[in-house]
């Protein structure tokens, strides 16, 4: 009998796949990539039409030697790496490194590691898709060019340990832009007005919200406007003008793509994008399930498609009908928003077998594996169920010329909410009086005005950043997690309570990138590059054409920046602080956490100190100097030099000018000074600063 060798990427898959195949199949793992561009140089021959120079990755020699032994024993080799661009590239590199005979080498892919999917893949073997390989090769080369050309300049200007990346630098700019938006935001006052009402013969009260007048909606901007409205309705009777009943439909969610899985895992499970992908990889490759052995529980985890196979739809319909009833089975297919960025090569992320419910596998999974699998299973089941239906009641109440609204809804049919209610708001159920009908008079128990202030845009979280990157077409499913991990690992960004904040180091790098390489950090340019990579994958654009067009502009920008840098004398900034050991004036250095003071006598004297930069503003609490500080994670704030005796702190930079209205301190927000007391709300232009 012929001997067949199947090569996969991960050793975890070996065990799962081996049990599906007969004795004539040997399964071996490459442990990921085996060849790459060299770390010591650019690895791209610019002079000879951008030919890449691949070498064996250090440490992969033994793995390749073992694979060569297996290849010699085999009559046929099947390359079964992941079903995406990167997997295709790994298969091509394996074929090159192992010098595989094209006649006896075939490429197979499967979207899920199940017996039927794996066996079916052997019925449809194919050649390596060079369009996919070229798309991945192009991405790798573009990233290498940006990293290896720009990073040395960052080292030269900021001293040490910095790097640039094609997608990473754009993501950093997006976070920095949001930070600037938040810092420049000035809260605006507005008011809401509720009327607590009671119908005749009823003990319970109802709360109606102010809407406007007979001409439409009115916003209450300040206390003066509120008082005017209160004065006009003080003696007015409240009367029901209209009662409208209706039905609201809540559609089921689409099954998960990589992006939505990362977002929901962050939002509901508090998982980082990196952790989500690691756990999903384990569920995809195979987990030991009691009584079943190693089983792949979910389909392929890197996808931006929400498509589901007909077999999976049919299995879901049967399961839902059996466990929930026929009325819960979806009669139509939920459609996702169309996007030019979506590649429909794969299915959505779903359980490989819907009959394998979370409860059935709970004992075999770790707590985090179970929580993620449960969320994937619930979401897929919900996507194949009917919508939820609510009965709604809207009541319009008149008080003289003004209008108030009452609204209530009750769940009529839970549909998909029976399995997936994570987005359902836990609001207090509003019960309206049954006697409410047109013309009914209502007693006013009290009026409840409330002052509010508009809120700045929210800081990015990992989930919202992934959503933004996807909406802008920047990166692809496989790049979201590594991009965020790099930003955090380089300490350009710090994470506190899920929020992402730019560190001092991140600000420095972003400024250099936006000043010297505006095209690289341009969102539209990066999104267009992603579209070009899609065109390479589709075979409509030659991969070298993309590289040929990209490199000259990058090279010109780097050379211009180099000339500019040559004119700058990059010397250590000398501070007034003296070294406690040798008495020399300390200099300002850049480290992984930002700027710090170091003795210029290094390495003989290794004394260092934190850099407390005075901002020339007295502390509003104790009158001593305010200094720029950083949290342990690197986020900037302003505090008193007299800490811990004085606990003053501010995220925004305080001004030395007191508020002329209340006498409190003001803070800088863009080109304006704003009173730190929201109740005061005083604002002036910074051009009035004295």
Query: Tokens at residue 636, please?
Result: 């900037």
**328 DSSP 8-state letter:** G
The H-or-E segment that residue 139 falls in is helix 130-158
How far is CA 363 from its chain centroid?
A: 31
The closest alpha carbon to 534, from 342, 262, 667, belongs to 342
> Token pair of 553, please?
């502009």
Peptide bond into 599 cis (omega under 30): no
Whether residue 299 contacts residue 284, with contact meaning beta carbons closer than 8 Å, is answered with yes
* Token pair in block for residue 532: 């070009």
- Of 78, 300, 324, 501, the active-site residue reads 300
Report how far residue 198's alpha carbon sits from residue 213's, in angstroms, rounded to the nearest whole number. 21
User: How far, in Å, are 44, 181, 525, 556 from residue 517 at the CA level?
Assistant: 21, 22, 12, 10
Closest among 440, 436, 443, 445 to 393, alpha carbons compared: 436
Handedness of CA 571, 573, 578, 580 (dihedral sign): negative
Within 8 A by CB and 6+ apart from 532, the residues are 138, 541, 546
Taking the mean position of all CA atoms in its chain, how far away is CA 248? 31
Both tokens assigned to 148: 């290896």
Look up 373 and say whether it is catalytic: no
E strand spans, 182-274: 189-199, 206-213, 216-217, 238-250
3-state class of 427 per DSSP?
A: coil
d(CA 442, CA 439) in angstroms, rounded, equals 10
How far is 485 from 498, CA to CA, in rounded Å?
14
What are the strands, taking DSSP E only, across 354-462? 388-399, 402-413, 441-453
Q: Give the integer Cα–Cα distance in Å for 37 and 52.
A: 7
For residue 494, the SS3 value is strand
**Residues 351, 113: contact at Cβ < 8 Å?**
no
Instruction: List, in order, residues 6 or more apart from 170 with CB less than 8 Å away.
Output: 474, 520, 521, 522, 523, 526
Active site residues: 300
């Amino acid at each position: 009998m012929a001997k067949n060798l199947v090569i996969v990427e991960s050793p975890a898959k070996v065990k799962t796949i081996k049990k599906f195949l007969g004795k004539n199949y040997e399964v071996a793992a490459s442990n990921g990539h085996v060849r790459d561009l060299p770390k010591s140089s650019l690895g791209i021959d610019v002079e000879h039409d951008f030919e890449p120079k691949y070498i064996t990755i250090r440490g992969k020699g033994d793995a390749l030697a073992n694979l060569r032994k297996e290849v010699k024993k085999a009559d046929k080799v099947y390359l079964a790496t992941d079903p995406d661009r990167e997997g295709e590239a790994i298969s091509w590199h394996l074929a090159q490194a192992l010098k595989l005979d094209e006649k006896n080498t075939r490429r197979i892919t499967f979207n899920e590691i199940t017996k039927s999917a794996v066996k079916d893949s052997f019925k449809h073997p194919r050649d390596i898709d060079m369009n996919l390989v070229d798309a991945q090769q192009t991405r790798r080369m573009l990233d290498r060019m940006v990293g290896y050309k720009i990073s040395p300049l960052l080292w030269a200007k900021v001293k040490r340990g910095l790097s640039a990346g094609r997608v990473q630098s754009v993501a950093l700019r997006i976070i920095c832009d949001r930070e600037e938006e938040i810092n420049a935001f000035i809260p605006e006052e507005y008011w809401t007005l509720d009327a607590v009402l009671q119908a005749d013969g009823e003990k319970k009260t109802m709360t109606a919200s102010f809407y406007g007048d007979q001409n439409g909606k009115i916003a209450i901007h300040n206390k003066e406007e509120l008082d005017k409205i209160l004065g006009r309705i003080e003696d007015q009777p409240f009367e029901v003008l209209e009662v409208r009943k209706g039905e609201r439909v809540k559609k089921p969610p689409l099954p998960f793509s990589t992006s939505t899985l990362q977002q929901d895992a962050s939002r509901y499970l508090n998982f980082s994008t990196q952790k989500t992908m690691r756990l999903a990889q384990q569920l995809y490759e195979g987990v030991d399930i009691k009584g079943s052995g190693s089983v792949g529980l979910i389909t392929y985890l890197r996808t931006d498609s929400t498509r589901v196979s007909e077999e999976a739809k049919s299995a879901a319909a049967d399961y839902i009908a059996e466990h929930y009833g026929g009325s819960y089975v979806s009669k139509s297919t939920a459609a996702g928003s169309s996007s030019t960025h979506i590649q429909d090569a794969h299915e959505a992320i779903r359980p490989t077998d819907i009959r394998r419910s979370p409860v059935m596998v709970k004992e075999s999974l770790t707590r985090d594996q179970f929580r993620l699998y449960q969320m994937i299973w619930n979401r897929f089941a919900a996507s194949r169920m009917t919508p939820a239906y609510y009965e709604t009641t809207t009541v319009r109440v008149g008080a003289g010329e003004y209008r108030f609204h009452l609204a209530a809804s009750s769940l009529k049919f839970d549909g998909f909410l029976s399995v997936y209610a994570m987005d359902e708001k836990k609001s207090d159920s509003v019960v309206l009086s049954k006697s409410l009908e047109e013309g009914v008079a209502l007693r006013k128990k009290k009026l409840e005005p409330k002052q509010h202030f508009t809120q700045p845009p929210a800081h990015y979280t990992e989930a919202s950043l992934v959503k933004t990157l996807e909406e802008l077409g920047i990166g692809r499913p496989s790049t979201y997690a590594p991009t965020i991990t790099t930003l955090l690992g380089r300490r350009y960004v710090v994470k506190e309570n899920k929020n992402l904040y730019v560190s001092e180091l991140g600000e420095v790098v972003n400024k250099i990138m936006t000043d010297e390489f505006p095209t690289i950090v341009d969102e539209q340019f990066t999104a267009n590059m992603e579209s070009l990579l899609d065109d390479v994958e589709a075979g409509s654009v030659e991969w070298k054409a993309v590289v040929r067009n990209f490199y000259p502009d990058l090279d010109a920008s780097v050379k211009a920046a180099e000339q500019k840098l040559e004119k700058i004398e990059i010397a250590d900034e000398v501070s007034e602080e003296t070294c406690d050991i040798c008495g020399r004036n300390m200099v300002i250095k850049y480290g992984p956490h930002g700027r710090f003071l170091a003795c210029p006598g290094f390495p003989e004297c290794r004394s260092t100190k934190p850099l407390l930069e005075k901002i020339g503003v007295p502390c509003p609490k104790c009158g001593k100097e305010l200094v720029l500080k950083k949290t342990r994670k690197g986020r900037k704030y302003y505090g008193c030099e007299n800490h811990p005796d004085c606990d003053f702190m501010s995220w925004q930079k305080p001004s030395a000018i007191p508020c002329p209205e209340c006498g409190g301190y003001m803070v800088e927000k863009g080109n304006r000074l704003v009173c730190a007391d929201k109740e005061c709300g005083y604002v002036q232009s910074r051009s009035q600063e004295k």
